Structures are given as C-alpha cells and as structure tokens.
Amino acid sequence: MLKSKILSIYDELSKLESYEPCCYVNELFSDLVSLVTHQYPENEINDALDDKDVQSIILNLHKICALGEYYLENHWAEKIAESSTPSETLDIFPYKQNYLKLCNLEYQALVSTKGKKPESTIFLGAGPLPLSAIIFSSRYNINCTVLDKSIEACNQAKKTLDKLDINIRDVICMDSKEYQDYKNHDTIIFAALNGRDQKEKLEIIKNINKNNYNGIILFRSSHSLRKLLYPEIRIPEDTKLRKEIEIHS
C-alpha cells in the first residue's frame, strides 16, 4: 500500500543523525525518488496524500529532503572545486540530466512568454551548486545572478563557479524576503526550496510585489506524489504579479 511505503521510508529517514551523502542515505533518498516518480492510479495518490498520518509527517519530510538536497549538492560542489577536471566532475553529478531537461523546459517557456530570450535572470535559493544558473549562463548565454540566504552556500557557490569558469553577474548572500533590487532582472526563477513552506513563499512574493516587479517570475512547484519532496506553491488570486509561469519539477 502506498501509504505504508511512504511512512516506512520516512521512518528510516527520520531516524538518521546526518543527511550527508553515504551509501545508506543515498539509497533511502533514491527509494523515495523512485516512489514519487512511479505511476500510481490517481485515486491512490490522492488517498495517500490526504491521509492524516501522511499529512502529519509531510512538513518534516520536506525539511529532511531539503537537508538531503543541500548536503548532496554541497558534496558535489566541493568535489568540483577540488577537481583537476571540474567540467567532467560536474558531468557525473547524478541529477545533471534532470537539471538539463528542467532548464530546457523553463528556457522554452520563458522565451514563448516573453517573445524573446531573457536578458538578466536571478535565481532565488540557488544553493552551493547553482546548477540551473550554470546551465542558463553556459548553454543559453543569459546574464545570471544567484541569491541564497546561507553564507556557506554562497561561499561554496563562488568557488564552484570560479572553478568551472562560469561568468555570473553576482552571488548575493541575502534572504529573498529582504532583497530589494528585483527590478534589475527581467526574469526571476523561484527555486523549489526557496522558502521552506507556503507561508514563507508568500512572504517572499509579498516582498517582490512591494518592489512593483513587472518582469516574469517562474515558480518551481510540485505536483502529485512529488509534493512529498517539495512544498507546493499556491499563488493567491489577488497577487499582483504581472506574468508568472509555474513549472512542476
């Protein structure tokens, strides 16, 4: 039964003392990713997601997944920074192909909404391995800025970008709820983990609105069983954002 599979993986994950990558941690996260990407009948998915036991663990599961993703990306960012062949090391990052597909989808969506290529994009919640910005800059030749509230993530991101010789406009260490210069960018990419829950995501949107932002904002959200990995974003109807795109990763 789907519910018991979810609870059993959560049970194992919640017992861990560290989410740094190692065989067992990687195996548990791989099991979770396989579970949420498997095709189940829609009624089974809805029943599992609405179940009160699943509901009661979901916020903690999001925290665990965010930690796991952070440590995994940090581990690879360190490997790249120490490598004598950094591009080859990035090529074997296990989720590189997923990022390439996601960025291609996002690039196409932005070009068709805007009618032309974005000129300056800011990535909110870019993390220590800002792979989306690396792809936007190197593949699509877009001027990119990355922002993250964590000083460790920003320092590691700078080292990784230098090592890969990626030309990024700026690495900004700030909370997205505080940043005031959104107008300097014609596109905002709102990462899936930018804001730990709906409440924090809404505070960030409020800050962007306060700045009378009139560019395009692309939200990475989640759907179906992937809601177990990432918080879904629900954009209120009265939001004054001029143009928004929602991509389900």
Ligand X SMILES: C[S@@+](CC[C@H](N)C(=O)[O-])C[C@H]1O[C@@H](n2cnc3c(N)ncnc32)[C@H](O)[C@@H]1O
List 124's β-bridge partners, or say none: 147, 190
Residue 179 CB, nearest approach to ligand X (Å): 8
- State yes or no: residue 68 binds ligand X (CB under 6 A): no
Site for ligand X (CB under 6 A): which residue of 191, 216, 228, 233? 191
If the CB atoms of residues 40 and 71 are measured against ligand X, the closer one turns out to be 71
How far is it, in rounded angstroms, from Cα 42 to Cα 236? 25
The 10 Å CB-count burial string (b at 16+, else e) for 153-162 is bbebbbbbbe
- State yes or no: residue 69 binds ligand X (CB under 6 A): yes
Site for ligand X (CB under 6 A): which residue of 19, 29, 70, 136? 70
Site for ligand X in 126-145 (CB under 6 A): 127, 131-132
Residue 198 CB, nearest approach to ligand X (Å): 13
Site for ligand X in 193-232 (CB under 6 A): 193-195, 204
If the CB atoms of residues 149 and 169 are measured against ligand X, the closer one turns out to be 149
If the CB atoms of residues 148 and 186 are measured against ligand X, the closer one turns out to be 148
How far is it, in rounded angstroms, from Cα 191 to Cα 231? 11
How far is it, in rounded angstroms, from Cα 41 to Cα 210? 42
If the CB atoms of residues 40 and 95 are measured against ligand X, the closer one turns out to be 95
- State yes or no: residue 177 binds ligand X (CB under 6 A): yes
How far is it, in rounded angstroms, from Cα 137 to Cα 157? 14
- State yes or no: residue 122 binds ligand X (CB under 6 A): no
CB-based contacts of 207: which residues, under 8 Å, 6+ apart? 176, 177, 178, 179
Burial class for 13, CB neighbours closer than 10 Å (0-12, 13-18, 19+): buried
If the CB atoms of residues 51 and 197 are measured against ligand X, the closer one turns out to be 197
Report whether 138 contacts 166 (CB < 8 A): yes
Binding positions for ligand X, rule: CB under 6 A: 66, 69-70, 73, 124-125, 127, 131-132, 147-150, 153, 175-177, 191-195, 204
